[in-house]
């Protein structure tokens, strides 16, 4: 009788954690490598779980893939480690238990850290070894990213007719990290051909049972659950799980009542936990009906955003729009900054953009400055958010804070790495890429946190994204724009452009896109400034002609500023009829230069309207 035939008739008990037992015995290195160097230890653990009552065990191959083994310099040992793992599990089982070949997920928070092509390649390498060694089925476990799990499940289903178990992992009760309800995710996995669907890791029995309450019995597949022992505690540099085995005995029947047919354990569980569950379920009769709870998600729409605050992407579609970047000061004291913000506001800008520690140099918090100019001056702030300085917790807290302050315009960017700034030894976080950050903000607009937990309100962010046209292959940069639009970007701000030909090229390359673009223009203040930007600032390129014009000004600051403004005005002229949006970057708090350029835009606009009336 095969695994699926048995699951049709009764609840099966699976094993628990492998790493927990090894860790408890002082092993603090690559657990999968022990298949080669300490095979007797692995066999002993398998045998302990079978003796405890496990009908199903899994190979010690959770992290036995190229990506994870490369961290230990073991990437060339993928075949050997996986082959040994199956043989050890089969030796221990000796016909008494089914052996599942385990493959763990690669992606965590930053989806971009492991592209799908790498996921596929790594997965196939491991899968083919496990199948060749004769496992009884395949267990896909600890997948936080549904896209990754659907991708590898499709591969597994194409390559084998053996049973495939597909497990997602949750940060929050009942929802995946992208906001997908657990019931929907499991239905999608069943539709892709998974024979058993369920969840493992992260949650203990209490919250895992809560999550399963909202999941109906699958039409064809079976349900499974491998809960953690508890939330881990951190003591004396080690992770400790507290939950005792008796608690698992108490909850085992509740899992059976939720329709679970394959019940095991994950982090923190031991043979004692498995023995307790097997004891509680001596009657292995499965349930065939259950009552599904429907949990309403309490989300309300933000109601205190003034109706007059037209979102920037709508505004720039309707008329000419000018926004200006004015960096918060590097030193304490904001009087000069506020004077510049007021002058720009009086000149008629639509928003003041505030960089987030540009060039990895610490400045006064742009969120604090944004709140001040909004309250005191009535200036609309556009706050830049980088992935560099905050981890996933900090990013979400920051977004909630901006929403609470009524600041709805944000620009999601990766951020310059710390090594180019004033503190090159500082850590660059990069939990998320700019694509992931855009997705996160879009999810906030749907009323859900990164983990899918309801926020209580929907945010109302207009999501700006960066576009660097100063590249050799403009088509590749446009492809990144298209991907950002798919992630949720509403409009774009470009890096400073210093070529009229580049402006026309950008127009041609992006005219098929519906997302508005603000063309970036930054006036030059000196020849030295021009050379620094050209040679040392990522994403900025100046033409030889412009560098020569600035060099001709010598050390005369007045003449250099005039020339810089003249160059900027020529760029405005080139962009005027091609783009509704202009994005000025103010150099060195020289807001007087930016004010002149803003007025130049408005004068051109007024002249154009007058000509239209005359020739009407």
How would residue 167 be classed by pLDDT, with cut points 50, 70 and 90?
very high
Q: What is the CA radius of gyration of the chain?
A: 29
Residue 548: count of CB within 10 angstroms of its CB = 12
Q: Are 151 and 475 in contact (CB under 8 A)?
A: no
Q: Are 598 and 348 in contact (CB under 8 A)?
A: yes
Report d(CA 55, CA 9) in Å as an integer. 14
Region of poorest pLDDT, from 71-80, 316-325, 391-400, 415-424: 415-424
Query: In the prediction, which pLDDT does 422 show?
Result: 84
Percent of the chain past pLDDT 70, that is, above it, reads: 94
Three-class SS state of 560: helix
* Residue 310: φ, ψ to 5°: -65, 130
Query: In the prediction, which pLDDT does 303 show?
Result: 44
Cα 433–Cα 435–Cα 438 angle in degrees, nearest 5: 110
Query: In the prediction, which pLDDT does 239 show?
Result: 55
Q: What is the average pLDDT across 577-594?
A: 94
Residue ranges with strand state E in 336-470: 351-354, 381-386, 409-413, 457-458, 462-467
How would residue 140 be classed by pLDDT, with cut points 50, 70 and 90?
very high
132 pLDDT above the threshold of 70: yes
Query: In the prediction, which pLDDT does 448 show?
Result: 86
How would residue 610 be classed by pLDDT, with cut points 50, 70 and 90?
confident
**More confident: 418 or 213:** 213
- Asked whether residue 201 is marked as a ligand-binding residue, the answer is yes
451 pLDDT above the threshold of 50: yes
Query: In the prediction, which pLDDT does 235 show?
Result: 53
Report d(CA 433, CA 445) in Å as an integer. 19
390 pLDDT above the threshold of 60: yes
How would residue 38 be classed by pLDDT, with cut points 50, 70 and 90?
very high
Q: Are 578 and 507 in contact (CB under 8 A)?
A: yes
Which of 492, 519, 305 is closest to 412 using CA atoms? 492
Which of 32, 41, 121, 48 is closest to 84 using CA atoms? 32
Region of poorest pLDDT, from 101-105, 408-412, 426-430, 552-556: 426-430
How would residue 307 be classed by pLDDT, with cut points 50, 70 and 90?
very low
- Asked whether residue 267 is marked as a ligand-binding residue, the answer is yes
Record the pTM.
Answer: 0.77
Residue that has been written with the tokens 């010598």 in this structure: 554
Q: What is the average pLDDT across 166-189?
A: 92
Query: In the prediction, which pLDDT does 425 show?
Result: 84
Average model confidence (pLDDT) across the chain? 92
How would residue 298 be classed by pLDDT, with cut points 50, 70 and 90?
low
Region of poorest pLDDT, from 247-261, 558-572, 598-612: 598-612
Q: What is the average pLDDT across 73-94?
A: 97
Q: What is the average pLDDT across 587-599?
A: 94
Query: In the prediction, which pLDDT does 472 show?
Result: 87
Region of poorest pLDDT, from 97-101, 355-359, 398-402: 355-359
Query: In the prediction, which pLDDT does 304 show?
Result: 46
How would residue 540 be classed by pLDDT, with cut points 50, 70 and 90?
confident
Three-class SS state of 159: helix
Which of 470, 505, 492, 489 is closest to 583 using CA atoms? 492
Query: In the prediction, which pLDDT does 27 show?
Result: 67
**316-524+579-615, CATH topology level:** TIM Barrel (3.20.20)
**Residues 502-528: pLDDT tens digits?**
999 999 999 999 999 999 999 999 999
Please report, for the chain, the start and end positions of each structural domain, with discontinuous segments joined by +. 3-281, 316-524+579-615
Residue 518 CA, distance from chain mean position? 25
Q: What is the average pLDDT across 488-505?
A: 95
How would residue 232 be classed by pLDDT, with cut points 50, 70 and 90?
low
Query: In the prediction, which pLDDT does 423 show?
Result: 87
**3-281, CATH topology level:** TIM Barrel (3.20.20)
Query: In the prediction, which pLDDT does 615 show?
Result: 65
Query: In the prediction, which pLDDT does 26 show?
Result: 64
Report d(CA 165, CA 362) in Å as an integer. 49
Q: What is the average pLDDT across 48-68?
A: 97
Report d(CA 318, CA 156) in Å as an integer. 50
How would residue 454 be classed by pLDDT, with cut points 50, 70 and 90?
confident
Q: Are 466 and 492 in contact (CB under 8 A)?
A: yes
Query: In the prediction, which pLDDT does 238 show?
Result: 53
Element (H, E) at 379: none
């Amino acid at each position: 009788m095969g695994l699926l035939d048995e699951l049709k008739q009764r609840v099966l008990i699976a094993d628990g954690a492998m790493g927990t037992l090894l860790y408890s015995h002082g092993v603090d290195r690559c657990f999968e490598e022990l298949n080669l160097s300490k095979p007797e230890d692995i066999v002993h653990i398998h045998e302990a779980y079978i003796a405890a009552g496990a009908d199903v065990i899994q190979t010690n191959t959770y992290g036995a893939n190229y990506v994870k083994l490369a961290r230990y310099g073991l990437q060339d040992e993928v075949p050997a480690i996986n082959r040994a793992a199956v043989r050890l599990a089969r030796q221990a089982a000796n016909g008494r238990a089914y052996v599942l070949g385990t493959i763990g997920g690669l992606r965590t928070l930053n989806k971009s850290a492991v592209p799908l092509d790498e996921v596929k390649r790594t997965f196939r390498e491991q899968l083919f070894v496990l199948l060749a060694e004769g496992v009884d089925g395949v267990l896909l476990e600890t997948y936080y990213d549904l896209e990754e799990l659907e991708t590898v499940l499709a591969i597994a289903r194409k390559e084998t007719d053996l049973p495939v178990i597909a497990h997602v992992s949750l940060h929050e009760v009942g929802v995946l990290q992208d906001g997908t309800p657990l019931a929907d995710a499991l239905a999608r996995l069943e539709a892709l051909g998974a024979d058993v669907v369920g969840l493992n890791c992260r949650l203990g029995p209490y919250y895992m049972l809560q999550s399963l309450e909202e999941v109906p019995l699958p039409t064809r597949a079976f349900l499974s659950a491998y809960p953690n022992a508890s939330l881990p505690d951190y003591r004396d540099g080690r992770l400790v799980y507290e939950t005792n085995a008796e608690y698992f005995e108490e909850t085992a029947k509740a899992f059976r009542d939720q329709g679970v047919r394959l019940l095991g354990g994950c982090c923190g569980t031991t043979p004692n936990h498995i023995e307790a569950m097997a004891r509680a379920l001596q009657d292995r009769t499965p349930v065939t009906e259950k009552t599904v709870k429907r949990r309403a998600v309490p989300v309300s729409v933000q109601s205190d955003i003034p109706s007059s605050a037209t979102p920037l992407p709508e505004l720039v579609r309707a008329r000419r729009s000018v926004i200006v970047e004015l960096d918060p000061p590097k030193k304490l004291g904001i009087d000069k900054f506020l004077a510049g913000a007021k002058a720009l506001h009086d000149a008629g800008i639509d928003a003041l953009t505030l960089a987030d520690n540009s060039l990895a140099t610490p400045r006064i918090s742009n969120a604090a400055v944004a709140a001040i100019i909004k309250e005191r001056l009535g200036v609309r702030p556009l706050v830049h958010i980088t992935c560099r300085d905050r981890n996933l917790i900090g990013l979400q807290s920051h977004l909630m804070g901006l929403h609470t302050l009524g600041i709805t315009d944000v620009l999601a960017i990766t951020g310059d790495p710390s090594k180019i700034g004033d503190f090159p030894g500082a850590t660059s976080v990069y939990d998320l890429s700019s694509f992931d950050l855009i997705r996160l903000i879009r999810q906030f607009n749907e009323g859900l946190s990164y983990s899918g937990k309801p926020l209580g309100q929907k945010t109302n962010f207009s999501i700006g994204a960066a576009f660097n046209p100063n590249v050799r292959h403009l088509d590749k940069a446009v492809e990144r724009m298209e991907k950002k639009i798919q992630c949720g970007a509403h409009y774009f701000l470009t890096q400073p452009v210093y070529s009229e030909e580049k402006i026309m090229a950008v127009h041609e390359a992006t005219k098929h896109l519906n997302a508005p673009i603000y063309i970036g223009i930054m006036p030059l203040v000196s020849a030295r400034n021009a050379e620094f930007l050209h040679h040392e600032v990522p994403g900025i390129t100046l033409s030889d002609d412009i560098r020569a014009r600035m060099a001709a000004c010598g050390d005369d600051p007045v003449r250099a500023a005039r020339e810089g403004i003249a160059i900027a005005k020529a760029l405005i002229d080139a962009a005027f009829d091609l783009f509704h949006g202009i994005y000025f970057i103010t150099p060195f708090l020289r807001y007087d230069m930016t004010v002149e350029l803003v007025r130049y835009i408005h004068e051109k606009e007024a002249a154009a309207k007058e000509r239209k009336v005359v020739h009407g």
